[in-house]
Amino acid sequence: MIRADGNRDGTTAACADYDIMREVFLPCLADMQMEETCAADVGAPEREGRMFRMPRDVASGYFWLYAERDFAISATDMLFPRDFREQCRHPRFVSVRYYLSGSCVESVTNRTVEAPYLEGHVLDTPHWDCLCRAGTPIRNVEIMLAPPFYEQYLREVYRDEAFSAEEAFASIDGLSDFPEMVVLLKQVEAYRGRGASARLFYRSKVEEAVALVVDKSRAMAGERTSELASEDMHAIERVRRRLEQQLAAPVDADELARIACMGQTKLRRTFKQACGCTIVEYRQRLRCAKAAELLAAGDAPVAQVAAAVGYRPERLAELFARTHHTTPSAYRAAMR
């Protein structure tokens, strides 16, 4: 729940030292040689937040940004006279972005995005590389969440459920049947309030967007699992509970097959259909999520945290870098 002072219960300490402006935007804005300006200078509407522009020989228009510590909202309206390669650092975050017009080629994913397009943005790379096409204005609106938001706050909200913000946001990428999200993002782009009213409006829209993403992701997951027989779903739930109970201890394939009352081949196939990942991947995510919780909540050495989830320190570091895009020590520092 968001309190009147803007902090969320249980996350104040975790977010106190994190600043999305410092960690994400200032490095990226510097990489692209963008400078701060005012709305009148770029013909933009006045609204709460900050306004930036590209060098005038590169693009006309603006990049507007409203940022709190652990989330941000932005709107882009730029026209490039020539194709422009957008290259910058890419800190870890998740976002939902709607392209109202324009076209770009994302080099890191090797895909072309053409408006209208709803993008669930989750990227496992430290650098961003995108070719913005000339001739048509690039117009989009985006809600971005920083790790403290979706690894601390959302974990508390969904504490009794298996939940991955990165998987949820990735699942909505490219959807053409998500009108609720499109309407919400257009409302955000059109809003012109200032002061305390703006802060309340933007916070509420961020939480509404998250709820929509989670509901949509679950609905799509439900469609995938509805084809499974009820007894198979119950079997997979038994396997998942066993994996969660035996987080640090070894669990072999024969034991899981007995729990599921299935052969190993059917278990592997059914588990992936129900959960969207292999048993090994699911267990790695569980262990890394528990490690992240221990790192954020206590001062135990990384080696002790690794042992608590059944890994050697070097193995935890390897998997943690894959799931959280940082080292366990750096993650702990960021969460303090």
* Per-residue model confidence as pLDDT tens digits over 23-81: 889 999 999 999 999 999 999 999 999 999 999 999 999 999 999 988 999 999 999 99
Count of residues for the chain? 336
Q: Is residue 4 part of a domain?
A: no
pLDDT at residue 212 tops 70: yes
Whole-number average pLDDT of the chain: 85
pLDDT (average), residues 141-155: 84
Judge if 197 and 330 occupy the same domain.
Answer: no
Pair (172, 299) in one structural domain: no
What was the pLDDT predicted at 6?
Answer: 37
120 in Cβ contact with 54 (< 8 Å)? no
Quick one: 182 and 243 in the same domain?
A: no
Range of the domain at 331: 277-336
pLDDT value of residue 2: 31
- Mean pLDDT comparison of 69-78, 230-239, 276-285, highest-scoring range: 69-78
Q: How many domains does the chain have?
A: 3
- Would 129 be classed as within a structural domain? yes
pLDDT at 3 over 70: no
Q: Give residue 131's identity as a one-letter amino acid code.
A: L
Q: Are the beta carbons of 41 and 47 closer than 8 angstroms? A: no
Co-location of 71 and 145 in the same domain: yes
Tell me, yes or no, whether 300 and 191 share the same domain.
Answer: no
Reported as a single tens digit per residue, the pLDDT across 166-179 is 888 888 888 888 98
Whether residue 6 is contained in a domain is answered as no
| Higher-confidence position of 107 and 246 | 246
Together in a domain, 298 and 267: no
Is the pLDDT reported for residue 105 higher than 90?
no
- Same-domain pairing of 287 and 184: no
For residues 214 and 252, state if they share a domain. no
Same domain, 159 and 293: no
Residue 260 pLDDT level (bands cut at 50, 70, 90): very high
> Is the pLDDT score of 185 beyond 90?
yes
Confidence of residue 13 (pLDDT cuts 50, 70, 90): very low
